């Protein structure tokens, strides 16, 4: 049986950096390393004895651990993503440090340190082993820690057949780091799970079942160009229109001024000239009502500006990107949250419920009919050369998955 730490480190040796250019061109997976990793994990799952192991042309991996009971239970699934962020593209050279406190020297030759003064939560892991890089790349715990935890969970269940369980499914998707592209291409209906959990981000104990309702706004401002020597009364500067529009957005409701569950308008891109200017914005809110109000505000503001500047001067295009997972976990549908909370506590971990100020694969999966809270991987400082993963946290994540399978059996065998 392969140890979870060895399994994780073997995954880090495969460079799965997402390729934004290829992704923008519609290629999936955007990097060959993702295909390599998907096929490696598929072989591992086949060797363990899983059924229906498949990797499709987009490197979406699916597999099934059949039930070991003769009565009906719902099917629970676990998801991870294959790619790592494009912030760093170099190969990972992982190392295990026996942490005794203070700073960690990642790279003596280049004098790169993981410093306690910058990352004070390090002190919580004094006396533990921590997996780090050599300071020149990401570690890839986002999201290879998830993959290692899922495969380790499957290995444990197969090695302990006395643990009764219903069907358990595995799903791995590519290019999460590019707008959740893999989960958007995932066929939830044919997969056949009843509920699921993603593993993505966060230190030990963190549990996510809220994220943004997210939308995009594109505004096109059309002016009238004129030579400056005869511009009076003729020139309509679309750049100035866009700036005036931005100035009319609610003060303080931008990412740099907000936190927690506070929503925002994010002015992301402004490009053009005096004749035509395009403004692109992100719209975010945790509540459905607040999200719709923000989108309606932009639409009304655009129409008022068009009335002021002339017909066709402002065109507003609004589109939805993904919804808050919590929208799919209301009332009787909240049981995946309850199961996760029970599983954490059975493992001696007090859940730290946090709202995710971003999106994750579970947002798309939930929107497509597969309710999907998010479980911690145990990693810290994702998308950074200072990314690290405490070994105890990695093991705890996998143990929680086993406990979720146990709790699913306990809850539904009683109800049955």
Residues 223, 191 share a domain = no
pLDDT at 63: 98
Averaged over 197-211, what is the pLDDT?
A: 94
Tell me: do 155 and 60 sit in the same domain: yes
pLDDT digits (tens, 9 = 90+) for 323-354: 999 999 999 999 999 999 999 999 999 999 99
Residues 187, 147, single domain; the answer is yes
pLDDT of residue 12: 98
Are residues 245 and 121 located together in one domain of the fold?
A: no
Express each pLDDT in 221-235 by its tens digit.
998 876 676 667 677
Please give the residue that has the higher pLDDT: either 317 or 223. Answer: 317
The pLDDT of residue 153 is 98
User: Residues forming the annotated binding site for Zn(2+)?
Assistant: 81, 142, 177, 200, 383
Mean pLDDT (whole number) for 279-294: 97
Tell me, yes or no, whether 293 and 374 share the same domain. Answer: no
Q: Above 90 in pLDDT, residue 53?
A: yes
Q: How far apart are CA 163 and CA 348, in angstroms?
A: 19
Give one DSSP letter per residue of 118-134, joined into a string: T-GGGGGGTTSEEEE--
| Res 46: pLDDT | 98
The predicted pLDDT at position 229 comes to 67
In the chain, the percentage of residues whose pLDDT exceeds 90 is 94
Answer with the one of 287, 320, 353 that is the final residue of a domain.
Answer: 320
User: Same domain for 333 and 362?
Assistant: yes
pLDDT tens by residue, 78-93: 999 999 999 999 999 9
Question: What's the whole-number mean pLDDT along residues 89-109?
Answer: 96
Residue 416 has pLDDT above 60, yes or no: no
Which amino acids are annotated as binding site, given as ranges?
81, 142, 177, 200, 383
Residue 279's domain is classified under what CATH number?
3.30.70.360
**Domain count along the chain:** 2
| Same-domain status, 261 and 218 | yes
Same domain, 200 and 224: no
State the average pLDDT for the chain.
95
- The tens digit of pLDDT for each residue in 155-181 reads 999 999 999 999 999 999 999 999 899
The answer to whether residues 254 and 348 belong to one domain is no
* Domain C-terminal end among 277, 292, 320: 320
User: What is the structure's pLDDT at 314?
Assistant: 98
* Gyration radius of the chain's alpha carbons: 24
Residues 344 and 312 in one domain: no
What is the structure's pLDDT at 415? 59
Verify that 278 and 168 share a domain, yes or no: no
Residue 359 is predicted with a pLDDT of 86
The domain of 222 spans 214-320
Q: What is the mean pLDDT of residues 138-156?
A: 97
Q: Give the residue numbers marked as catalytic.
A: 83, 176
Q: What is the CATH number of the domain that holds 23?
A: 3.40.630.10
In this prediction, residues 260-287 reach a mean pLDDT of: 96
* Confidence category of residue 3, pLDDT binned at 50, 70, 90: very high
- Amino acid 224: pLDDT: 81
């Amino acid at each position: 049986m392969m140890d979870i730490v060895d399994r994780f480190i073997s995954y880090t040796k495969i460079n799965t950096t997402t390729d934004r250019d290829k992704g923008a061109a519609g290629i999936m997976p955007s990097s060959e390393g993702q295909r390599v990793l998907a096929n490696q994990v598929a072989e591992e799952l086949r060797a363990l004895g899983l059924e229906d192991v498949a990797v499709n042309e987009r490197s979406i991996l699916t597999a099934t651990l059949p039930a070991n009971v003769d009565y009906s239970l719902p099917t629970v699934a676990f998801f991870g993503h294959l790619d790592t962020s494009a912030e760093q593209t170099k190969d990972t050279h992982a190392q295990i440090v026996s942490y005794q406190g203070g700073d960690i020297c990642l790279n003596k030759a280049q004098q790169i340190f993981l410093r306690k003064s910058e990352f004070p939560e390090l002190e919580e892991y004094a006396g533990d082993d921590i997996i780090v890089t050599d300071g020149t790349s990401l570690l890839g715990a986002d999201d290879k820690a998830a993959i290692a935890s899922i495969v380790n969970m499957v290995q444990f269940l197969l090695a302990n057949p006395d643990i009764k369980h219903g069907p358990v499914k595995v799903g791995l998707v590519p290019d999460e780091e590019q707008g959740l592209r893999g989960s958007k291409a995932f066929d939830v209906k044919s997969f056949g799970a009843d509920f699921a959990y993603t593993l993505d981000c966060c230190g030990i104990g963190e549990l996510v079942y809220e994220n943004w309702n997210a939308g995009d706004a594109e505004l096109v401002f059309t002016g009238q160009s004129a030579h400056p020597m005869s511009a009076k009364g003729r020139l309509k500067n679309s750049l100035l229109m866009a700036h005036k529009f931005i100035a009319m957005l609610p003060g303080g409701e931008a990412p740099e001024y907000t936190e927690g569950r506070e929503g925002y308008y994010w002015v992301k891109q402004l490009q053009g000239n005096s004749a035509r200017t395009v403004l692109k914005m992100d719209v975010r809110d945790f509540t459905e009502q607040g999200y719709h109000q923000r989108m309606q505000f932009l639409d009304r503001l655009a129409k008022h500006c068009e009335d002021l500047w002339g017909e066709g001067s402002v065109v507003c295009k609004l589109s939805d990107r993904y919804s808050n997972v919590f929208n799919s976990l209301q009332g009787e549908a909240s049981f995946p949250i309850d199961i996760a909370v029970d599983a954490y506590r059975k493992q001696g971990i007090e859940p730290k419920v946090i709202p995710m100020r971003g999106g994750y694969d579970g947002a798309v999966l939930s929107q497509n009919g597969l309710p999907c809270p998010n479980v911690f991987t145990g990693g810290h400082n994702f998308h950074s050369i200072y990314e690290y993963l405490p070994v105890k946290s990695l093991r705890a994540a996998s143990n929680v998955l086993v406990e979720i399978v146990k709790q699913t059996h306990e809850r539904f065998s009683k109800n049955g």
